[in-house]
Protein backbone atom coordinates (compact mmCIF):
# COMPACT_ATOMS: atom_id res chain seq x y z
CA UNK A 1 0.00 0.00 0.00
CA UNK A 2 1.43 3.28 -1.07
CA UNK A 3 1.78 5.65 1.79
CA UNK A 4 3.54 8.93 1.33
CA UNK A 5 5.27 10.65 4.21
CA UNK A 6 3.10 13.62 5.16
CA UNK A 7 4.80 16.91 5.86
CA UNK A 8 2.24 19.64 6.43
CA UNK A 9 3.23 23.27 6.77
CA UNK A 10 1.62 24.91 9.76
CA UNK A 11 0.42 27.80 7.64
CA UNK A 12 -1.54 25.46 5.40
CA UNK A 13 -3.60 24.29 8.34
CA UNK A 14 -5.15 27.74 8.62
CA UNK A 15 -7.27 26.89 5.60
CA UNK A 16 -7.94 23.20 6.11
CA UNK A 17 -7.88 20.97 9.16
CA UNK A 18 -6.74 17.42 8.80
CA UNK A 19 -9.77 15.32 7.98
CA UNK A 20 -9.64 11.81 9.36
CA UNK A 21 -12.34 9.16 9.48
CA UNK A 22 -12.43 5.37 9.58
CA UNK A 23 -11.13 3.69 6.45
CA UNK A 24 -13.37 1.59 4.22
CA UNK A 25 -13.84 -2.00 5.28
CA UNK A 26 -11.05 -4.18 3.99
CA UNK A 27 -8.81 -1.24 3.11
CA UNK A 28 -5.96 0.45 4.90
CA UNK A 29 -6.16 4.14 5.74
CA UNK A 30 -5.32 6.24 2.67
CA UNK A 31 -3.44 9.53 2.79
CA UNK A 32 -3.67 12.45 0.37
CA UNK A 33 -1.34 15.42 0.78
CA UNK A 34 -2.30 18.27 -1.57
CA UNK A 35 0.74 20.37 -2.58
CA UNK A 36 -0.17 23.96 -3.44
CA UNK A 37 1.85 27.19 -3.46
CA UNK A 38 2.21 30.38 -1.44
CA UNK A 39 -0.84 31.62 0.44
CA UNK A 40 -1.06 34.82 -1.62
CA UNK A 41 -1.24 32.93 -4.92
CA UNK A 42 -4.02 30.95 -6.63
CA UNK A 43 -2.76 27.40 -6.03
CA UNK A 44 -3.29 27.70 -2.29
CA UNK A 45 -7.02 28.58 -2.15
CA UNK A 46 -7.72 26.05 -4.90
CA UNK A 47 -5.71 23.44 -3.01
CA UNK A 48 -7.64 24.16 0.18
CA UNK A 49 -10.90 23.72 -1.75
CA UNK A 50 -9.60 20.49 -3.30
CA UNK A 51 -8.66 19.17 0.13
CA UNK A 52 -12.17 19.91 1.39
CA UNK A 53 -13.68 18.17 -1.64
CA UNK A 54 -11.57 15.07 -1.04
CA UNK A 55 -12.35 15.01 2.66
CA UNK A 56 -16.09 14.92 1.99
CA UNK A 57 -16.12 12.77 -1.15
CA UNK A 58 -13.66 10.12 0.08
CA UNK A 59 -14.41 9.36 3.74
CA UNK A 60 -11.71 6.68 3.82
CA UNK A 61 -9.03 9.29 3.14
CA UNK A 62 -7.03 11.42 5.55
CA UNK A 63 -6.37 14.73 3.76
CA UNK A 64 -3.78 17.44 4.38
CA UNK A 65 -2.94 20.62 2.46
CA UNK A 66 0.61 21.93 2.26
CA UNK A 67 1.73 25.45 1.35
CA UNK A 68 4.90 25.27 -0.79
CA UNK A 69 7.06 27.27 -3.17
CA UNK A 70 4.82 25.89 -5.94
CA UNK A 71 5.71 24.13 -9.20
CA UNK A 72 9.37 23.07 -8.89
CA UNK A 73 9.19 22.13 -5.22
CA UNK A 74 5.86 20.36 -5.78
CA UNK A 75 7.24 18.21 -8.59
CA UNK A 76 10.30 17.20 -6.59
CA UNK A 77 8.09 16.35 -3.60
CA UNK A 78 5.78 14.19 -5.74
CA UNK A 79 8.80 12.37 -7.18
CA UNK A 80 10.04 11.72 -3.64
CA UNK A 81 6.68 10.33 -2.48
CA UNK A 82 5.93 13.27 -0.18
CA UNK A 83 2.61 14.22 -1.75
CA UNK A 84 -0.23 12.56 -3.66
CA UNK A 85 -1.42 15.46 -5.84
CA UNK A 86 0.15 18.79 -6.75
CA UNK A 87 -0.35 21.96 -8.78
CA UNK A 88 2.28 22.85 -11.36
CA UNK A 89 2.95 24.97 -14.40
CA UNK A 90 3.15 23.11 -17.69
CA UNK A 91 6.64 24.28 -18.62
CA UNK A 92 7.99 23.19 -15.22
CA UNK A 93 6.27 19.82 -15.66
CA UNK A 94 7.90 19.36 -19.06
CA UNK A 95 11.32 20.35 -17.65
CA UNK A 96 10.88 17.93 -14.74
CA UNK A 97 10.05 15.04 -17.07
CA UNK A 98 13.18 15.80 -19.12
CA UNK A 99 15.40 16.47 -16.08
CA UNK A 100 16.43 20.04 -16.92
CA UNK A 101 18.94 20.82 -14.17
CA UNK A 102 18.90 24.58 -14.69
CA UNK A 103 15.15 24.49 -14.02
CA UNK A 104 15.67 22.74 -10.67
CA UNK A 105 15.58 19.05 -11.63
CA UNK A 106 18.81 17.10 -11.17
CA UNK A 107 17.46 14.09 -13.06
CA UNK A 108 14.31 13.20 -15.02
CA UNK A 109 11.35 12.81 -12.66
CA UNK A 110 9.87 9.69 -14.19
CA UNK A 111 7.45 8.96 -11.33
CA UNK A 112 5.29 11.89 -12.42
CA UNK A 113 1.87 11.29 -13.96
CA UNK A 114 -0.80 13.77 -15.06
CA UNK A 115 -4.19 13.96 -13.38
CA UNK A 116 -5.65 16.94 -15.28
CA UNK A 117 -4.84 20.01 -17.29
CA UNK A 118 -6.62 22.85 -15.51
CA UNK A 119 -6.64 26.66 -15.94
CA UNK A 120 -3.87 28.83 -17.38
CA UNK A 121 -1.48 31.06 -15.49
CA UNK A 122 -1.15 34.55 -16.90
CA UNK A 123 2.23 36.24 -16.73
CA UNK A 124 1.37 39.52 -15.05
CA UNK A 125 4.03 42.22 -15.04
CA UNK A 126 2.77 44.97 -12.76
CA UNK A 127 4.60 48.23 -12.09
CA UNK A 128 3.85 51.06 -9.72
CA UNK A 129 2.57 54.03 -11.71
CA UNK A 130 5.17 56.36 -10.22
CA UNK A 131 7.99 54.11 -11.54
CA UNK A 132 7.27 55.36 -15.05
CA UNK A 133 7.23 51.79 -16.41
CA UNK A 134 4.69 51.40 -19.22
CA UNK A 135 6.41 48.97 -21.63
CA UNK A 136 8.90 46.13 -21.37
CA UNK A 137 11.60 48.45 -22.72
CA UNK A 138 11.03 50.64 -19.65
CA UNK A 139 12.08 47.80 -17.34
CA UNK A 140 15.82 48.45 -17.83
CA UNK A 141 17.48 49.90 -14.77
CA UNK A 142 14.46 49.24 -12.52
CA UNK A 143 13.98 47.14 -9.38
CA UNK A 144 12.07 43.91 -9.97
CA UNK A 145 10.88 40.79 -8.14
CA UNK A 146 10.72 37.62 -10.24
CA UNK A 147 9.32 35.10 -7.76
CA UNK A 148 11.00 32.61 -5.46
CA UNK A 149 14.29 31.18 -6.82
CA UNK A 150 13.71 28.47 -9.45
CA UNK A 151 9.96 28.61 -8.85
CA UNK A 152 7.65 28.25 -11.82
CA UNK A 153 7.22 32.03 -11.82
CA UNK A 154 10.96 32.63 -11.87
CA UNK A 155 11.42 30.20 -14.76
CA UNK A 156 8.66 32.06 -16.62
CA UNK A 157 10.45 35.34 -15.88
CA UNK A 158 13.71 34.09 -17.38
CA UNK A 159 11.98 32.94 -20.57
CA UNK A 160 9.97 36.11 -21.12
CA UNK A 161 12.72 38.56 -20.30
CA UNK A 162 15.12 36.70 -22.60
CA UNK A 163 12.57 36.87 -25.44
CA UNK A 164 12.30 40.62 -24.83
CA UNK A 165 16.09 41.02 -25.06
CA UNK A 166 16.54 41.50 -21.32
CA UNK A 167 18.54 39.71 -18.63
CA UNK A 168 18.72 40.09 -14.87
CA UNK A 169 21.88 42.19 -15.37
CA UNK A 170 19.71 44.87 -17.00
CA UNK A 171 17.97 45.64 -13.70
CA UNK A 172 19.30 47.77 -10.87
CA UNK A 173 17.96 45.22 -8.38
CA UNK A 174 16.49 41.72 -8.67
CA UNK A 175 14.59 40.17 -5.77
CA UNK A 176 13.52 36.52 -5.59
CA UNK A 177 10.41 36.76 -3.45
CA UNK A 178 6.95 35.21 -3.13
CA UNK A 179 4.00 37.25 -4.37
CA UNK A 180 2.91 38.72 -1.05
CA UNK A 181 6.40 39.90 -0.06
CA UNK A 182 6.92 41.44 -3.50
CA UNK A 183 3.73 43.45 -3.12
CA UNK A 184 4.69 44.70 0.33
CA UNK A 185 8.02 46.00 -0.99
CA UNK A 186 6.21 47.74 -3.84
CA UNK A 187 3.82 49.39 -1.40
CA UNK A 188 6.86 50.66 0.52
CA UNK A 189 8.49 51.91 -2.72
CA UNK A 190 11.38 49.47 -2.37
CA UNK A 191 10.54 47.79 -5.70
CA UNK A 192 9.29 49.16 -8.99
CA UNK A 193 7.77 46.09 -10.61
CA UNK A 194 6.74 42.52 -9.90
CA UNK A 195 6.35 39.63 -12.34
CA UNK A 196 3.80 37.11 -11.14
CA UNK A 197 2.65 33.94 -12.89
CA UNK A 198 -0.85 33.23 -11.59
CA UNK A 199 -4.52 33.03 -12.41
CA UNK A 200 -6.34 36.22 -13.28
CA UNK A 201 -7.42 38.23 -10.26
CA UNK A 202 -4.66 36.84 -8.02
CA UNK A 203 -5.05 38.20 -4.48
CA UNK A 204 -1.56 39.71 -4.28
CA UNK A 205 -2.03 41.98 -7.31
CA UNK A 206 -5.59 42.87 -6.29
CA UNK A 207 -4.15 43.98 -2.96
CA UNK A 208 -1.46 46.03 -4.70
CA UNK A 209 -3.87 47.70 -7.12
CA UNK A 210 -6.13 48.86 -4.30
CA UNK A 211 -3.15 50.26 -2.37
CA UNK A 212 -1.16 52.15 -5.01
CA UNK A 213 -1.75 53.18 -8.65
CA UNK A 214 -0.37 50.54 -11.02
CA UNK A 215 0.45 49.91 -14.68
CA UNK A 216 -0.05 46.42 -16.08
CA UNK A 217 2.78 46.02 -18.60
CA UNK A 218 2.01 44.43 -21.97
CA UNK A 219 3.91 41.41 -23.28
CA UNK A 220 3.56 41.85 -27.06
CA UNK A 221 2.74 38.91 -29.33
CA UNK A 222 6.14 39.10 -31.05
CA UNK A 223 7.85 38.60 -27.67
CA UNK A 224 5.63 35.58 -26.98
CA UNK A 225 6.58 34.11 -30.37
CA UNK A 226 10.29 34.51 -29.64
CA UNK A 227 10.03 32.37 -26.47
CA UNK A 228 9.91 29.39 -28.81
CA UNK A 229 8.10 27.05 -26.43
CA UNK A 230 4.63 25.67 -27.18
CA UNK A 231 3.77 25.90 -23.47
CA UNK A 232 3.65 29.69 -23.81
CA UNK A 233 0.61 31.12 -25.61
CA UNK A 234 -0.47 34.70 -26.32
CA UNK A 235 -3.29 35.77 -24.01
CA UNK A 236 -5.10 38.86 -22.70
CA UNK A 237 -5.64 40.27 -19.21
CA UNK A 238 -9.16 41.73 -19.56
CA UNK A 239 -9.80 45.36 -18.66
CA UNK A 240 -10.99 45.76 -15.09
CA UNK A 241 -9.20 42.68 -13.77
CA UNK A 242 -7.42 45.00 -11.33
CA UNK A 243 -8.28 48.40 -9.89
CA UNK A 244 -7.15 51.12 -12.27
CA UNK A 245 -6.66 48.76 -15.24
CA UNK A 246 -8.85 50.46 -17.83
CA UNK A 247 -7.82 48.51 -20.93
CA UNK A 248 -7.18 44.94 -22.08
CA UNK A 249 -3.48 44.08 -21.78
CA UNK A 250 -1.78 41.50 -24.03
CA UNK A 251 0.41 39.00 -22.24
CA UNK A 252 1.42 35.32 -22.24
CA UNK A 253 -0.24 32.35 -20.56
CA UNK A 254 1.03 28.95 -19.46
CA UNK A 255 -1.30 26.05 -18.70
CA UNK A 256 -1.42 24.56 -15.22
CA UNK A 257 -1.72 20.89 -14.35
CA UNK A 258 -2.58 18.65 -11.45
CA UNK A 259 -0.06 15.83 -11.15
CA UNK A 260 0.49 12.74 -9.06
CA UNK A 261 2.95 9.84 -8.85
CA UNK A 262 2.77 6.55 -10.71
CA UNK A 263 3.09 4.93 -7.27
CA UNK A 264 -0.25 6.32 -6.04
CA UNK A 265 -2.86 3.53 -6.40
CA UNK A 266 -5.12 3.61 -9.46
CA UNK A 267 -8.35 3.51 -7.46
CA UNK A 268 -7.27 6.48 -5.34
CA UNK A 269 -6.33 8.63 -8.35
CA UNK A 270 -9.60 7.64 -10.06
CA UNK A 271 -11.52 8.78 -6.97
CA UNK A 272 -9.53 12.04 -6.76
CA UNK A 273 -10.16 12.82 -10.43
CA UNK A 274 -13.86 12.04 -10.20
CA UNK A 275 -14.28 14.10 -7.03
CA UNK A 276 -12.59 17.12 -8.65
CA UNK A 277 -14.96 17.23 -11.61
CA UNK A 278 -18.05 16.23 -9.63
CA UNK A 279 -17.52 19.16 -7.26
CA UNK A 280 -15.94 21.70 -9.60
CA UNK A 281 -18.35 24.38 -8.36
CA UNK A 282 -16.50 24.35 -5.03
CA UNK A 283 -13.24 25.10 -6.81
CA UNK A 284 -14.89 28.03 -8.63
CA UNK A 285 -16.20 29.33 -5.31
CA UNK A 286 -12.63 29.28 -3.95
CA UNK A 287 -11.17 31.27 -6.86
CA UNK A 288 -12.53 32.54 -10.18
CA UNK A 289 -9.54 31.05 -12.05
CA UNK A 290 -11.22 27.65 -11.67
CA UNK A 291 -13.97 28.75 -14.08
CA UNK A 292 -11.52 27.81 -16.85
CA UNK A 293 -11.22 24.18 -15.67
CA UNK A 294 -12.97 21.83 -18.10
CA UNK A 295 -13.27 18.05 -17.85
CA UNK A 296 -13.40 17.84 -21.64
CA UNK A 297 -10.05 19.65 -21.98
CA UNK A 298 -8.36 18.14 -18.91
CA UNK A 299 -6.83 15.04 -20.59
CA UNK A 300 -5.66 16.86 -23.73
CA UNK A 301 -2.13 17.98 -24.69
CA UNK A 302 -0.46 16.71 -21.51
CA UNK A 303 3.38 16.83 -21.35
CA UNK A 304 3.52 13.78 -19.06
CA UNK A 305 1.44 10.57 -19.42
CA UNK A 306 -1.91 10.36 -17.70
CA UNK A 307 -2.09 8.28 -14.53
CA UNK A 308 -4.11 5.10 -15.21
CA UNK A 309 -6.63 6.15 -12.55
CA UNK A 310 -7.23 9.51 -14.20
CA UNK A 311 -7.33 7.92 -17.65
CA UNK A 312 -10.00 5.47 -16.43
CA UNK A 313 -12.16 8.35 -15.23
CA UNK A 314 -11.91 10.16 -18.57
CA UNK A 315 -12.80 6.97 -20.48
CA UNK A 316 -15.79 6.31 -18.22
CA UNK A 317 -16.92 9.90 -18.78
CA UNK A 318 -16.65 9.50 -22.56
CA UNK A 319 -13.85 12.05 -22.80
CA UNK A 320 -11.24 9.61 -24.13
CA UNK A 321 -11.72 6.82 -26.65
Does position 21 have pLDDT exceeding 80, yes or no?
Answer: no
**115 and 260 assigned to the same domain:** yes
**249 and 127 assigned to the same domain:** yes
pLDDT, tens digit, for every residue of 237-248? Answer: 999 999 999 999
CATH of the domain at 288: 3.40.190.10
Tell me the pLDDT band of 29, cut-offs 50, 70 and 90: low
HSE, CB side, 13 Å, CA atoms: give it for residue 317.
Answer: 19
**217 and 267 assigned to the same domain:** no
**233 and 278 assigned to the same domain:** no
**194 and 266 assigned to the same domain:** no
Q: Would you call 187 exposed, middle or buried from its count of C-beta atoms within 10 A (0-12, 13-18, 19+)?
A: middle
Does position 272 have pLDDT exceeding 60, yes or no?
Answer: yes
Residue 321 lies in a domain: no
Q: Are 109 and 76 in contact (CB under 8 A)?
A: yes
**99 and 139 assigned to the same domain:** no
The pLDDT of residue 12 is 38
Residue 2 lies in a domain: no
Q: What CA–CA distance (Å, rounded) separates 158 from 167?
A: 8
**144 and 246 assigned to the same domain:** yes
Does position 27 have pLDDT exceeding 60, yes or no?
Answer: no
**Residue 188 sits in which domain range?**
121-254
Handedness of CA 270, 276, 279, 280 (dihedral sign): negative
- Choose one of 207, 224, 254: the last residue of a domain: 254
Split into its structural domains, the chain has a count of: 2
**128 and 182 assigned to the same domain:** yes
The pLDDT of residue 28 is 57
Residue 99 lies in a domain: yes
**127 and 243 assigned to the same domain:** yes
What are phi and psi for residue 45, nearest 5 degrees? -60, -35
Read off the pTM.
0.82
Q: Are 57 and 275 in contact (CB under 8 A)?
A: yes
| Rounded to 5°, angle at Cα 157 from 187 and 257 | 105
**159 and 77 assigned to the same domain:** no
**100 and 162 assigned to the same domain:** no
Residue 36 lies in a domain: yes
Q: What average pLDDT does this structure show over 215-226?
A: 97
pLDDT, tens digit, for every residue of 286-309? Answer: 999 999 999 999 999 999 999 999
pLDDT, tens digit, for every residue of 165-211? Answer: 999 999 999 999 999 999 999 999 999 999 999 989 999 999 999 99
In the chain, what percentage of residues exceed pLDDT 90?
85
Does position 231 have pLDDT exceeding 80, yes or no?
Answer: yes
Does position 60 have pLDDT exceeding 50, yes or no?
Answer: yes
**53 and 26 assigned to the same domain:** yes
Q: Report the largest interatomic distance among the alpha carbons of the chain, rounded to a whole angstrom.
A: 65
Q: What average pLDDT does this structure show over 104-124?
A: 96
Amino acid sequence: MYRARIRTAAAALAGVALIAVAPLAGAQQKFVNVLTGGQSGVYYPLGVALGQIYGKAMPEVKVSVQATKASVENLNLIQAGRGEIAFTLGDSLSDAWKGVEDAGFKAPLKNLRTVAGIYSNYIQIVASADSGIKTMADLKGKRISVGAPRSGTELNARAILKAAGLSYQDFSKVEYLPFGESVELMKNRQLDVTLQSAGLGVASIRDLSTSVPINVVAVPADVVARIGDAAYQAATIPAGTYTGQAQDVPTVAVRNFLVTSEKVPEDLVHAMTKALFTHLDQMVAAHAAAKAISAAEAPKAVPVPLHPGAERYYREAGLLK
